[in-house]
């Protein structure tokens, strides 16, 4: 069942997403050659506690960490470790918190130093596909209109959409109805209405979309070991339009894509 949120509840969800956005923005400066992925996780958890929030992922279905760190061919759910990042890597950081009873969730893919052209391109495409999906998240459309917009753009650029994982409703719980796939025909699924809050999160691959799960039971990788990239925003459908709750709001500056992704 889809739980629609009031304006007040959406403001609460926005607060939790602003914490997520702030911490992901701070991690951007730490993503450098030589840093261990567990150091990123430790920082995210420390900052979470400083901001009086609870890491949403840690302990969720047994996941051991606060932050998901997925490098290169790793798609999602990478477990932080002693692995050191190196020049040319790309890393997806997926992070969520619970704050004052509400959940926030977002993901970014960052480059480690100078990266080759194929890596630059896959990051650009997945980021743009997310915004193509968000454009369809409006009153009167259906959930699969988001899905179709993502898939159409990704495949038009020669990439494939990972089909094993989907976006989701969010707010009172980390994962709620409806599911938001990144592929499918338009005009299907639940109708998008005021009060709906969902996390849209395209994951794409440079080659085939087939997935393999590593022995840790969590880390999903591309079966052909091709590059993968991931972006996610939590959005709310309000009476005055669709709002991106996980865009970082910098005081004195207009909210923009770059304020979160820079």
59 three-class SS? coil
Quick check: is 2 in a domain? Answer: no
pLDDT over threshold 50, residue 255: no
pLDDT averaged over the chain? 94
Quick check: is 1 in a domain? Answer: no
Quick check: is 88 in a domain? Answer: yes
Quick check: is 121 in a domain? Answer: yes
Over residues 14-48, the pLDDT tens digits come to: 999 999 999 999 999 999 999 999 999 999 999 99
Number of domains in the chain: 1
Quick check: is 194 in a domain? Answer: yes
Over residues 103-149, the pLDDT tens digits come to: 999 999 999 999 999 999 999 999 999 999 999 999 999 999 999 99
Task: Provide the domain limits for residue 97.
Answer: 7-245
For the chain, where are the E strands, in sequence order? 54-55, 67-71, 74-76, 90-99, 102-111, 160-161, 167-169, 176-180, 197-200, 203-205, 211-213, 220-222, 228-230, 233-238, 241-244
| CA–CA gap between residue 106 and residue 97 (Å, rounded) | 10
Residue found under tokens 């050659």: 33
Phi, psi torsion values for 127, nearest 5 degrees: -65, -45
| CATH number of domain containing 16 | 3.90.230.10
Quick check: is 51 in a domain? Answer: yes
Quick check: is 119 in a domain? Answer: yes
Quick check: is 256 in a domain? Answer: no
pLDDT confidence band for 254 (50 / 70 / 90): very low
| CA–CA gap between residue 220 and residue 190 (Å, rounded) | 28
């Amino acid at each position: 069942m889809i739980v629609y949120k009031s304006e007040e509840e959406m403001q609460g969800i926005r607060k939790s997403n602003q914490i997520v956005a702030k911490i992901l923005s701070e991690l951007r400066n730490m993503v450098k050659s030589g840093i261990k992925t567990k150091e990123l996780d430790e920082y995210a958890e420390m900052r979470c506690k400083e901001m009086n929030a609870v890491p949403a992922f840690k302990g969720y279905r047994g996941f051991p960490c606060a932050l998901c760190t997925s490098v290169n061919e790793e798609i999602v759910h990478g477990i932080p470790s002693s692995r050191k990042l190196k020049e040319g890597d790309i890393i997806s950081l997926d992070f969520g918190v619970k704050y004052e009873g509400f959940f926030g969730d977002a993901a970014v893919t960052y480059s480690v130093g100078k990266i080759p052209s194929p890596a630059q391109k896959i990051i650009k495409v997945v980021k743009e596909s997310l915004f193509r999906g968000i454009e369809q998240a409006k009153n009167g459309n259906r959930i699969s209109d988001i899905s179709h917009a993502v898939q159409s753009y990704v495949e038009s650029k020669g990439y494939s959409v990972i089909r094993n994982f989907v976006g989701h409703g969010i707010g009172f719980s980390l994962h709620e109805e409806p599911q938001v796939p990144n592929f499918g025909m338009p005009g299907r699924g639940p109708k998008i209405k005021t009060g709906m809050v969902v996390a849209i999160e395209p994951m794409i691959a440079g080659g085939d979309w087939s997935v393999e799960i590593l022995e840790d039971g969590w880390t999903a990788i591309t079966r052909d070991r091709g590059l993968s990239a991931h972006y996610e925003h939590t959005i709310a459908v309000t009476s005055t339009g669709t709002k991106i709750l996980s865009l970082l709001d910098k005081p004195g500056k207009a909210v923009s894509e770059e304020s979160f992704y820079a």
